[in-house]
Amino acid sequence: MTIQCISPIDGSVYVRRETLNRAQADAAVGRAQAAQKEWANRPLAERIALVQAGVTAVGAMNDEIVPELAHQMGRPVRYGGEFGGFDERARYMASIADEALAPIEVEDSGAFRRVIKRVPHGLVLIVAPWNYPYMTAINTVAPALIAGNAVMLKHASQTPLVGERLAQAFHSVGIPEDVFQNVFLDHQTTSDLIGARSFGFVNFTGSVGGGRAMEAAASGTFTGLGLELGGKDPGYVMDDADVDAAAETLIDGAMFNSGQCCCGIERIYVHESLFDSFVQKAVEIVKGYTLGNPLEPDTTIGPMAHARFAQVVRSQISEALAQGATPHIETFAQDDGGAYLTPQILTNVTHDMRVMREESFGPVVGIMSVKDDAEAICLMNDSDYGLTASLWTKDVARAESIADQIETGTVFMNRADYLDPGLCWTGCKDTGRGGGLSVIGYHNLTRPKSYHLKKA
């Protein structure tokens, strides 16, 4: 089977790759499982140093990577790629590895040695998405390798060059080829491998449907799963908020990367006293965007990664307008009815509309007026998703009190669409389960092993 990346720039085929058949995939699994044991026996400091060297090698490729990303998924070159966040996350996980993986000493007396060690799962499969293809992959790749696992990376068909770049960089610094493998697999082969207990742990970032397929494949195998399945993340602007700062950050969170971010802002609730001023500011920001070819330095918002993704957003907007929503952005001249989509702000929206309930994953946001915190909390929780929420206020205690009542994985105050590697990246409800990064990320990529040693 052949996978191909259709470039959103012009609809041409940018990359083609052949997938592994089942026999080839089984052989790759066997090589990885065999190589993992020797890798895990290397000193932790050596594994850390090799992963950090691999990260540096990726950085050296950035001038080539940035236009590749534009061709593959449409992000404008003016933003310089993902290496800053990629490097930050990997370096942080390297810095906490000694502490996170340290044994828990319960007793070491004349009679007993009792200790809990963290040991690697063995082989970890990482199924990575196309929207932030380097940063989402490194969230698991770096700690998995540092913890002593072998890794097989299956990247999205929209970004096939990313896995190849990572393999090239990591192998160039001495990480064994069988310890880190970039693989091209079709859905059925992936499911078959999971069902055959080929992996000790599977980390998947993608759609709810994809997450269900992973759970179905792993059913009865007791394979550990980490699932991050998207979101419908809310922002709440309280009556004491800095309106300009809130609008700038929340609208950027809604529109950056053409809205293609799992933790992007997809719905905004504004206290009624600030509603008009917030909407006015938000509309001014979006009207200032330049939609166009992502290879052009003046472009501030590029095409969506595929025309079919843009069609989902268009259909949500059309339905909302038919139900009474008010659009605030006139169609941009560069909107071609395909991947190039006008960013849109909607008011007079309700939770009866798909655009306020289903994940859009595109450059559209609905804004609603609320009378108080109780109404805002109710609306923020009225969702099948729970990844992040963004609260805007000058009152930290008020924000934390509201945060305690929101069904979500991460709560931000006076910022949005951000990932702090020191905190667990996690979610609830249809967003999935598990947790990446932080100390907890290491705990999920290893298993506890207890030692009860009675001394003679």
Which element (helix H / strand E) includes 297? none
CA distances from 304 to 91, 261, 284, 308, 442 (A): 30, 11, 22, 9, 33
Dihedral over Cα of 68, 69, 75, 76: its sign = negative
Cross-strand pairs, 15: 5
Pair type for strands 435-436 and 233-237 = unpaired
* CA-closest candidate to residue 419, choices 228, 148, 226, 202: 228
**Cβ atoms of 14 and 25 closer than 8 Å:** no
Using DSSP bridges, classify how beta strands 425-426 and 435-436 pair: parallel, antiparallel or unpaired.
antiparallel
Contact 175, 139 (CB under 8 A): no
Q: Which residues are designated catalytic?
A: 228, 262
For residue 247, give both structure tokens. 């609008």
Q: How far is CA 445 from CA 126, 193, 378, 390, 435, in A?
A: 11, 19, 35, 28, 10
How distant, in Å, are the alpha carbons of 43, 142, 451 from that of 117?
Answer: 15, 20, 8
Name the β-bridge partners of 392: 237
Contacts of 148 (CB under 8 A, 6+ apart): 36, 39, 40, 42, 44, 47, 119, 120, 446
